[in-house]
Chains A and B, each alone.
Chain A
Amino acid sequence: MNNSVLVIGGGIAGIASALELANCKHDVYLIEREAAIGGHAASYCCKATDVCTKCSVCLVPQKLKEVKTHSKISTLTNSVVSKVSGKAGNFQVEVWQKPQYILPQRCIACGMCFDICPTQPKAIYPPSPEAVPYSYVIDESQCLRLKDEECNLCEGICPTDAINFERKPERQELSVGTIIVATGFDVFDAREIGPLGYGRFPNVVTGLDLEKTFSYEGSLKLPSNGKEPHNIAFIQCVGSRSESHCYCSQVCCKYAMRFARLIKHQNPDCQATIFYIDLQTAGKGFAEFYEECKEAIRFIRGVPVEISETSLGELEVRFENILQGKVGRESFDLVVLSVGMAPRRDSWDLARILGINLSDDGFFDTKEPSNPIETNVDGVFLAGACQVPKDIPDSIAHGTSAAERAMEALERCK
């Protein structure tokens, strides 16, 4: 009988699970595929105007800090689970960690390696500002040394001997009592809907692009020429509520309205239009927020089918204007596609390793519809958007309740 818990995925749901378990005195292994924990939510931006719009993004750095300082949580970054055996109460887990060319516990983020790196763009660079662990990252496709060329500049200059290119992938065996799967989602690839022109027209961007732009720049400029946009359209349900993605992604109406408000706040002359099928206004305080938005933002029922570029470089959006009962054409200088959440492309691999089922949509499936946490394998639980799409507060709630189930399962195994 083992009292520790494995949490696969260091996004906001996994972090919530790990913290709750650790606070209840369980040892937690938090496995993260990327170099830093935080997942998607760590790259999102605050959407406050002159008031907070309750997007919850600020919860992420706060939780990351708690994980960093918690003695009961061992975080393994750059790691994947490759094999699981055993049963509830006693799982054996094999974890592979990519070579740690930069040891996170030795890196002091002084930046000397970045300064000396000879490639363009730099092959070694600082992580995102909120990253945990805050350790420099190597781009393996850029690094001369990893391309078998002679270069030892960063290793030589590092004052703390954090860099070592001789390191090999490491295999670890973990024994845990229960497993929480919190691997999250992939953002829907808007290129799949060709007529919307994402990837072809620089001024067609996605909600995720907007998150990153606001995180790094703080304001929005047209990608094509760096000027202020004057007329922005948001297109809802891109990659949601379709034949191939038969579910509502639950976050897009909210983020689109928050972004539209934020853009209007920064630039009151800018027009904002939201094209939608149905607005998801349920949830605490959201109907009121929608009422406020209606004053400043134009809402059009009907989702555009095609975007083309005019000779003036504007984007012409063709849509069915349901209110007028005819096809409408309108020009915008920026179009934001409100992309939804899709199941992770590698879900199947993990499902096979753990023996858990996938739903028709490709997300991990639960044992019964009324129970959003337990899987068909005893002792394996789901948390966050790997089950169905969820926003940040729901992911935290789901992660917390998965922790409770995991603890209960451990009690039962005693």
Chain B
Amino acid sequence: MQVKIGVFLCDCGESLKNIDFSRIREDLQRLEDIAFVDISHNLCLEEGEKAMTSRILVENINRVVIGACSPDLCEHIFTRLLEGLRLNPHLLSLANIREQCSWAHEGDVTGKALELIRMAISKARLLQPIEREVVPVSKQVLVVGGGFCGMRSALELSRLGIRTTIVESELTLGGKMEQFEGSYGIETSPQAILNLMSNTIEEDENIEVLTSAEITSVEGQAGNFPVKIRRGGEQVSQSFGAIIFATGHTTKTLPRDFEPELGRNAISQRKLVEMLQAPEELERRPGTIGFVLDVSDENSRLPILSTLNNALAVKERLGSEVYVFCKSLKVDSEGMEKLYREAREQGVVFLKFEEKPQISKEDGRLKVEARDLLLGEEVALLCDFLVAEEKVLPCEGTEALGSMLNMRTDSQGFYQDENVHLYPVASERKGMFFVGGCKGDLDFARTSMDISSATVSIYELLSSGKVIVEVEKVKVEPDKCQACLTCIRICPHSAIQLVRVDTEKEVAKIYDLACDGCGICAAICPAKAIRFEGYADEQILAEIEAIGESL
């Protein structure tokens, strides 16, 4: 089709006085393919849009070039206008002649404005439309992990009318919930919450539960992930529209950080909770209980939370002396400062150290030696019980699953490194969401925010049963592709796969729905086989060549 370009220039209410618009018009009209050059005072206002609309319709142009203010302010207006006229919005090319030209310089800038517009025109000649397509998506969601987060996610999705399948590797639902006994105060019983949730799930028609099952492969892209699930000896395949990973975290006392092995005096938080739940079974009331924090992990909020809750419970139920050895108190979650103050009021003593404390055995008790910063002195304390710090760790299998999904883990082995653009739950792969402990230690409020955020993102993606995607915005030219796999390896979104075109040849193919449009593949392809529409080599070169042509 013959390229026919309409140029609209805006003098911003005649305020761009250092640009001679009539001279620009004169020059542009001499160029090829130009149907007209219009000068408006207010393209972004209603009257400007109206004039533009009628002009486009009358002249029947197929490329629009606009010289106006920053695209940041006006691009959406023109995109919407073109869409309304059933013109492909990608056939639009903008030149910023206000912020980057008129306002940026003193004196006459007609020459620069002209160059910017000519660049936009050169690019416009080569623009290709990007079509949109409606892609059907599966409304079934897979939840990997049947612990607290997995169950909550399924329940919340169900309340929004979305069906889920929970895949849990253990025999029953619940995950490591019993491990968190005591973390949130001994009054909160994870077991009771678990029972309540499993009952609700059992009655929920929207939730299917597969226990003793695990996923063995995930293919495809958002809206349609064919997943293989192994259960018992058999393998089933099913397609899911989205996947929530809620594989959780675990806590462990690391021997290298805590010298006396867990035993009679050195106990875990969980053992302490058991003691607190049945104080009458103790031989005698312990006189002194110590807690040690910040020796293996300065990254987590969970150890300090369980320490504060349990220290208060010790005070209430056993009346023992309680000492907490720590480096920095992590109180940056809701209510933690109050909990800390309450503990101090109840007589819990906090000793802050800079160097890791020494622990040894003495007279059947444990001796903790540390230099307390407030006192400025060495402190030695004999404890009847010493509660060990528990490090928050990724669950077993986190890494294996991660590499199967092509999903990076952070330095601690949790899912996702810190990408601010993926907050809170999105991942580099569209349609895959990570919630709760598998991303690292989270407190209860943050976990529940995570779950709701994942739920609403999935609802947004799947609820209508279809997604509109731009087709071939980035595409591989099969003739040029050497199937070297460079793009497949580099794509952070796993949006590229090798497909067979005939018996001889395989080529890379980009899946539009999974593609994020980052352009890394187009830049790296050694054969220059990948074209990123709007930023293709010939389009950028045409823009550069237009510089200096005029005047």
Specify which chain B residues have a CB less than 8 angstroms from the CB of A261 in the assembled complex: none
Contact of B13 among A24, A59, A108 (CB under 8 A): A108
A278–B329 CB distance below 8 A: yes
B456–A400 CB distance below 8 A: yes
Specify which chain B residues have a CB less than 8 angstroms from the CB of A125 in the assembled complex: none
Known: A56-B423, A134-B73, A372-B448. A20 touches B460 (CB 8 A): yes
Known: A23-B460, A397-B449. A282 touches B420 (CB 8 A): no
Specify which chain B residues have a CB less than 8 angstroms from the CB of A158 in the assembled complex: 13
- Which residues of A from 280 to 321 have beta carbons under 8 Å from B? 280-288, 290, 301
Chain A CB count within 10 A is highest, among B301, B374, B460, for B460
A325: Cβ under 8 A from any B Cβ: yes
B54: Cβ under 8 A from any A Cβ: no
Specify which chain A residues have a CB less than 8 angstroms from the CB of B330 in the assembled complex: 278, 280-282
Q: How many angstroms between the C-alpha atoms of A280 and B443 in the bound complex? A: 14
Q: How many angstroms between the C-alpha atoms of A112 and B156 in the bound complex? A: 53
B341–A246 CB distance below 8 A: yes
A327: Cβ under 8 A from any B Cβ: no
A68–B334 CB distance below 8 A: no
Specify which chain B residues have a CB less than 8 angstroms from the CB of A329 in the assembled complex: none
A397–B45 CB distance below 8 A: no
- Which residues of A from 367 to 414 have beta carbons under 8 Å from B? 369-373, 387-388, 393-394, 396-398, 400-405, 407-408, 411
B318: Cβ under 8 A from any A Cβ: no
A24–B299 CB distance below 8 A: no
Q: Closest CB of chain B to A339's CB: distance in Å?
A: 16
B336–A278 CB distance below 8 A: no
B459–A24 CB distance below 8 A: yes
B contacts with A, residue count (CB < 8 A):
67
A54–B418 CB distance below 8 A: yes
Q: Closest CB of chain B to A118's CB: distance in Å?
A: 18
Specify which chain B residues have a CB less than 8 angstroms from the CB of A403 in the assembled complex: 456
B354: Cβ under 8 A from any A Cβ: yes
Known: A108-B42, A248-B331. A282 touches B410 (CB 8 A): no
A108–B45 CB distance below 8 A: yes
B328: Cβ under 8 A from any A Cβ: yes
B76–A284 CB distance below 8 A: no
A369–B420 CB distance below 8 A: no
Chain B CB count within 10 A is highest, among A23, A108, A398, A405, for A108
Specify which chain B residues have a CB less than 8 angstroms from the CB of A285 in the assembled complex: 410-411, 417-418
A372–B76 CB distance below 8 A: no
A401–B453 CB distance below 8 A: yes
B331–A112 CB distance below 8 A: no
B299–A408 CB distance below 8 A: no
- Which residues of B from 135 to 180 have beta carbons under 8 Å from A? 156, 159-161
- Closest residue of chain A to B372 (Cβ to Cβ) is A322
Specify which chain B residues have a CB less than 8 angstroms from the CB of A112 in the assembled complex: 13, 15
Contact of A323 among B331, B354, B424, B448 (CB under 8 A): B354
B45–A388 CB distance below 8 A: no
- Which residues of B from 1 to 53 have beta carbons under 8 Å from A? 12-15, 41-42, 44-45
Specify which chain B residues have a CB less than 8 angstroms from the CB of A59 in the assembled complex: 420-421, 423
B390: Cβ under 8 A from any A Cβ: no
A241–B448 CB distance below 8 A: no
B446–A394 CB distance below 8 A: yes
A241–B331 CB distance below 8 A: yes
- Closest residue of chain B to A290 (Cβ to Cβ) is B298
B449–A394 CB distance below 8 A: yes
B420–A401 CB distance below 8 A: no
A160: Cβ under 8 A from any B Cβ: yes
A69: Cβ under 8 A from any B Cβ: yes
User: Chain A interface secondary structure, helix, strand, loop or mixed?
Assistant: loop
Q: Closest CB of chain B to A36's CB: distance in Å?
A: 13
B311-338 vs A, CB cutoff 8 Å, 1 = contact: the mask equals 0000000000000000011111111111
- Closest residue of chain A to B159 (Cβ to Cβ) is A408
B424–A397 CB distance below 8 A: yes
Q: How many angstroms between the C-alpha atoms of A41 and B156 in the bound complex? A: 30
Specify which chain A residues have a CB less than 8 angstroms from the CB of B417 in the assembled complex: 284-285
B288: Cβ under 8 A from any A Cβ: no
B444: Cβ under 8 A from any A Cβ: yes
Known: A59-B423, A68-B76, A281-B298. A372 touches B376 (CB 8 A): no
Known: A282-B332, A403-B456, A411-B160. A323 touches B420 (CB 8 A): no
A212: Cβ under 8 A from any B Cβ: no
A151: Cβ under 8 A from any B Cβ: no
- Closest residue of chain A to B443 (Cβ to Cβ) is A282
Q: Closest CB of chain B to A160's CB: distance in Å?
A: 6
Specify which chain A residues have a CB less than 8 angstroms from the CB of B80 in the assembled complex: 69
Q: How many angstroms between the C-alpha atoms of A111 and B341 in the bound complex? A: 55
B455: Cβ under 8 A from any A Cβ: yes
Specify which chain A residues have a CB less than 8 angstroms from the CB of B125 in the assembled complex: none
- Closest residue of chain A to B74 (Cβ to Cβ) is A108
A270: Cβ under 8 A from any B Cβ: no
Q: Closest CB of chain A to B390's CB: distance in Å?
A: 15
Specify which chain A residues have a CB less than 8 angstroms from the CB of B352 in the assembled complex: 278, 301
A228-269 vs B, CB cutoff 8 Å, 1 = contact: the mask equals 000000000000010000111010010000000000000000
Contact of B337 among A247, A324, A373 (CB under 8 A): A247
Known: A23-B460, A134-B73. A323 touches B373 (CB 8 A): yes
Specify which chain B residues have a CB less than 8 angstroms from the CB of A279 in the assembled complex: 328
A153: Cβ under 8 A from any B Cβ: no
Q: Closest CB of chain A to B355's CB: distance in Å?
A: 11
Known: A369-B335, A372-B334. A281 touches B299 (CB 8 A): yes
B441: Cβ under 8 A from any A Cβ: yes
- Which residues of A from 90 to 109 have beta carbons under 8 Å from B? 105-106, 108-109
Q: How many angstroms between the C-alpha atoms of A65 and B75 in the bound complex? A: 11
B463: Cβ under 8 A from any A Cβ: yes
Q: How many angstroms between the C-alpha atoms of A241 and B340 in the bound complex? A: 10
Chain A CB count within 10 A is highest, among B159, B332, B335, B456, for B332
- Which residues of A from 108 to 152 have beta carbons under 8 Å from B? 108-112, 134
Contact of B456 among A247, A387, A404 (CB under 8 A): A404
B420–A54 CB distance below 8 A: yes
B45–A106 CB distance below 8 A: yes
Q: Closest CB of chain B to A290's CB: distance in Å?
A: 8
A58: Cβ under 8 A from any B Cβ: yes
A396–B354 CB distance below 8 A: no
A301–B373 CB distance below 8 A: yes
A159: Cβ under 8 A from any B Cβ: yes
B159–A411 CB distance below 8 A: yes
A281–B328 CB distance below 8 A: yes
Specify which chain A residues have a CB less than 8 angstroms from the CB of B336 in the assembled complex: 248
Q: How many angstroms between the C-alpha atoms of A301 and B373 in the bound complex? A: 9
Q: Closest CB of chain A to B378's CB: distance in Å?
A: 13
A408–B331 CB distance below 8 A: no
A400–B300 CB distance below 8 A: no
Contact of A393 among B328, B337, B424 (CB under 8 A): B424
What would 11 A/B residue contacts be, using CB atoms closer than 8 Å? A159-B41, A281-B298, A301-B352, A370-B445, A372-B445, A372-B449, A397-B425, A401-B453, A403-B456, A407-B160, A411-B160
The 4 closest A-B pairs by CB, nearest first: A159-B13, A401-B452, A325-B376, A397-B424
